[in-house]
């Protein structure tokens, strides 16, 4: 493999001059450019980014660490990050922590080793240790989607509490009183916020949901299925479900189908996070959709501004609203008798 020195020799110039032509920096004549470019083409020279990164102490690489790459919500986030990063001349590395703190730690360590310039992190845990680790290693980080207690860092997320509140309000307006919460993992802020929004709406309506109606599990289809089954065995049965994310909603639909219950005729269902039309042959879920792409883009822009040494001195907390999308699954107003 040809090096910059080989190119220099062939073009009859010094390596540093080749470097200038490649990076279009400093001064060089048109004649020099031509002979250098000819030499590069002839040798099939490709610059070595390891060497460049080592010398420059910058790799023009960002990383996105997320918790579930199979979830379309995060696929959309990934897309948003990549778009903005590429525009600015950065490459993005994607890592999947699988909701495991250990894996997250392993990846962050790797990313520091790889000298990425900055990291976008969807944290698995509510504790700030991993954030501190990055800061100790001079790696700027922007937290995405979830908050972390005591973390001194920039953060871009959605208002999950308000989103859940709106969804429950909708159900209340439709006449529902026994509303079940199919919640996410207890340690995760989005899950906690959605639960809080649910409780606030219920409390304001003067309702104290039975403990059997308030479940917590994981952000998976299986967990949604299991929570729905559990809630359905309670008496009296709920008339509506709030699913804390899209996968939980899918699991709940499965459970309801199995029990011979129809959505929304027997049970109303509302959820969090939209599913892209590409993947839904029958889009019918009423949801509080988070602006995934927008969120990702803002976070990336914030990170890039940090890398450029710009932006406000204090850490930013950007909170975006969710959007209520009405479809069939929330159903019609129900008769009082039920």
Which residues in this chain contact DNA in the complex, by CB under 7 A?
1, 3-5, 12-20, 22-23, 25-29, 31-32, 45, 47-48, 51-52, 54-57
DSSP string of 127-141, one letter each residue: -SHHHHHHHHTT--E
270-289: contacts with its own copies (CB under 8 A)? 275-282
Structure token digits, residue 172: 């209340």
Shorter beta-carbon distance to its own copies: residue 93 or 259: 93
DSSP string of 86-118, one letter each residue: HHTT-EEEEEE-TT-HHHHHHHHHHHHHTT-SE
Q: Check binding of 46 to its own copies (CB under 8 A).
A: yes
**Sheet strands (E) in 140-254:** 141-144, 154-158, 179-183, 214-216, 240-243
The CB-side HSE value for 263 (13 A sphere, CA atoms) comes to 28
Nearest approach, Cβ of 93 to its own copies (angstroms)? 6
CA angle 331, 335, 338 (to 5 degrees): 95
Shorter beta-carbon distance to its own copies: residue 72 or 184: 72
Nearest approach, Cβ of 19 to DNA (angstroms)? 3
Whole-number Cα distances in Å, 220 to 38, 148, 180, 217, 232: 55, 22, 17, 8, 18
Nearest approach, Cβ of 172 to its own copies (angstroms)? 25
Q: Check binding of 91 to its own copies (CB under 8 A).
A: yes
Shorter beta-carbon distance to DNA: residue 45 or 272: 45
- Phi, psi angles (nearest 5°) of residue 333: -55, 140
Choices 87-95, 200-208, 295-303, 307-315 (CB under 8 A): range interacting with its own copies: 87-95
Q: Check binding of 253 to its own copies (CB under 8 A).
A: yes
DSSP one-letter code for 335: P
Shorter beta-carbon distance to its own copies: residue 69 or 307: 69
143-162: contacts with its own copies (CB under 8 A)? none
State the Cα–Cα distance between residues 186 and 234, nearest whole angstrom. 22
Interface residues with its own copies (CB under 8 A) are 1, 44, 46-51, 53-54, 59, 69-70, 72, 75, 78-79, 82, 91, 93-94, 96, 109-110, 112-115, 136-138, 220-221, 247, 250, 253-254, 275-282
């Amino acid at each position: 493999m040809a090096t910059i020195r080989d190119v220099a020799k062939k073009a009859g110039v010094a390596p540093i001059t080749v470097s200038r032509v490649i990076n279009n920096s400093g001064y060089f004549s048109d004649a020099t450019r031509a002979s250098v470019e000819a030499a590069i083409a002839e040798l099939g020279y490709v610059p070595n980014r390891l060497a460049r990164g080592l010398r420059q102490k910058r790799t023009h690489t960002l990383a996105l660490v997320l918790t579930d790459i199979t979830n379309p919500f995060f696929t959309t986030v990934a897309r948003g990050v990549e778009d903005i990063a590429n525009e600015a001349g950065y490459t993005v590395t994607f890592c999947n922590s699988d909701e495991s703190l250990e894996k997250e730690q392993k990846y962050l360590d790797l990313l520091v080793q790889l000298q990425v310039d900055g990291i976008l992190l969807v944290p698995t845990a509510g504790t700030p240790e991993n954030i501190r680790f990055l800061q100790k290693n001079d790696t700027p980080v922007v937290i995405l989607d979830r908050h972390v207690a005591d973390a001194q860092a920039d953060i871009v997320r959605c208002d999950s509490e308000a989103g859940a509140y709106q969804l429950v309000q909708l159900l209340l307006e439709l006449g529902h009183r026994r509303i079940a919460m199919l919640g996410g993992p207890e340690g995760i802020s989005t899950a906690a916020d959605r639960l809080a929004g649910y409780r606030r709406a219920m409390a304001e309506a003067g309702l104290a949901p039975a403990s059997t109606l308030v479940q917590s599990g994981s952000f998976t289809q299986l967990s949604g299925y299991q929570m729905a089954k559990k809630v359905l065995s309670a008496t009296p049965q709920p008339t509506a479900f709030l699913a804390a994310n899209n996968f939980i909603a899918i699991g709940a639909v499965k459970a309801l189908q199995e029990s011979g219950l129809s959505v929304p005729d027997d049970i109303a269902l509302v959820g969090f996070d939209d599913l892209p039309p590409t993947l839904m042959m029958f889009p019918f879920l009423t949801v509080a959709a988070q602006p995934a792409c927008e969120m990702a883009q803002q976070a990336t822009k914030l990170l890039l501004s940090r890398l450029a040494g710009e932006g406000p001195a204090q850490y930013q907390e950007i909170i975006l609203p969710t959007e209520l999308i009405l479809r069939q699954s929330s159903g019609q107003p129900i008769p009082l008798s039920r």
